Amino acid sequence: MSSRIPLGIRQCNRLLAAPIYSSNEAPSQARLFSTSQVHYERHDCKVLVVGGGSGGCAMAAKLSSHLGKDKVIVLEPEDRHYYQPMFTLIGGGMKRLEQSYKTMAEVLPKKAKWVKEKAMEFDPDNNTVCTSGGDTIKYDFLLIATGLQLKYEKIPGLAEALEVPNGKVCSIYSPKYAEGVYDVLRRTTGGNLIFTFPDSPVKCPGAPQKIVYIVEHYFRKLGKRDKVNITYNTALPVLFGVKHYADALWPICKKRNITVNTRRNLVEVRHAEDIAVFEDLENPGQLCEEKYSLLHAVPPMSAPDELTKCRKLMNTAGFVDVNNSTLQHVRYSNVFAIGDSSGTPNSKTAAAAAAQSPVVFRNMIAAMEGKPLTEVYDGYASCPLVTGYSTCILAEFDYSLTPLETFPVAQNKERYSMFIMKKDFMPLLYWKLMLPGHWNGPGLMRKLFGVFKPNKK
């Protein structure tokens, strides 16, 4: 439902400071439009979903199927929806960028209304969101699914280095740069190869080291492994947050002669000199310079600025302040969050969003009906740790960082079967089941496979 709001009484936009002219006309020749003729939309909906990523699409599908046509609005400015877990494989030359996306029109549910604009201002006290086009969206319930923004500009010199033609700096984290990783890799003939993990939360926290293993395997396959030194500098105090899998990854690094430096954070890139500057987080202010032939940089990340401006919605860490179990906002009972922008302390992965989706859906419906919220999210996340061109360790765990594995085999071992599942099966599951709202994570599979697992005493 929508209605026109005259400029003089609309809620979101500031008055235009200059006259409005028709395009391609000089002011002296232009046809001046009266501002009284400019109108902006006001939309009303049962549920507003802000963000058309993994969680937003899945939830829009579930909610619009339950509530009916045009009861759900999805606010999303992008034309393309990317399957971002594929970016690591693209960086290793195993997939192409065009295989990683579909148009937003293809993946958003037909029963939902798509407003192709960006959320600019959140006003949870009045149940409204203002858009980049000047519209106001009034909602009964709000689902925040904005994901994270990449902040390459926060590291001096990094954004500029990524734009250098035939340069040596690359990053799998953006569709703008993902294909360029393999180009840099093929141009590299020797020297120091440096990979980073930033001092901030990131989406898919296993990806920064997946590309390390892929690149190491690439040079082994070429018979040129002895020509390169490979270093992984991570701001974290550990190689991987779940000890069960970290204990399997450390021997891989040792066997493959990958140097791992913890608590080392990239703070500057001087691409003209091929130098990366790192800070020792154990000794703040202590810097070291490292020369590189290839630098793979992971940018700092945060919730979108437009969202963090609304402090009433955010926790002190800068993420949406929701209950860890119900995913309902701690102050606004008609606000929920899903995915990477949520303040829940789980690993930020697509698998986590899938596991959150039935919890958010059922709890939102319960809230609409005035019933208690009974569904609980246990923090499940999954990270298929690709360790080369044919192997993968499938990490699955919960809030407590306890393994929560699906299959009746030891998942802390490198397996070809897990690699094929990651490379070929998971993209199909994502497009065909998760985005249409039919995939709720592997919980049911885990129960079925449980009969084949040995009993632990």
The crossing angle, in degrees rounded to 10, of helices 178-187 and 207-222 is 30
In 50-157, which residue ranges form alpha helices assigned H by DSSP?
54-67, 87-91, 104-107
Nearest to residue 304, comparing CAs of 293, 290, 320?
A: 320
Nearest to residue 439, comparing CAs of 358, 337, 341?
A: 358
What is the secondary structure of 364-411 as a DSSP string?
HHHHHTT----------EEEEEE-SSS-EEEEEE-TT--B---SSS-T
Q: What is the DSSP letter of 66?
A: H
Residue type present at position 198: P
Nearest to residue 201, comparing CAs of 91, 54, 342?
A: 342
Nearest to residue 286, comparing CAs of 267, 301, 260?
A: 267
Q: Is there a catalytic annotation at residue 253?
A: no
Among 170, 253, 383, 392, the active-site one is 383
Q: Is there a catalytic annotation at residue 392?
A: no
Classify residue 82 by burial, with Cβ atoms within 10 Å: 0-12, 13-18, 19+: middle
The crossing angle, in degrees rounded to 10, of helices 54-67 and 350-368 is 30
Among 45, 57, 170, 204, the active-site one is 204
Q: Which residues are known catalytic residues?
A: 204, 383
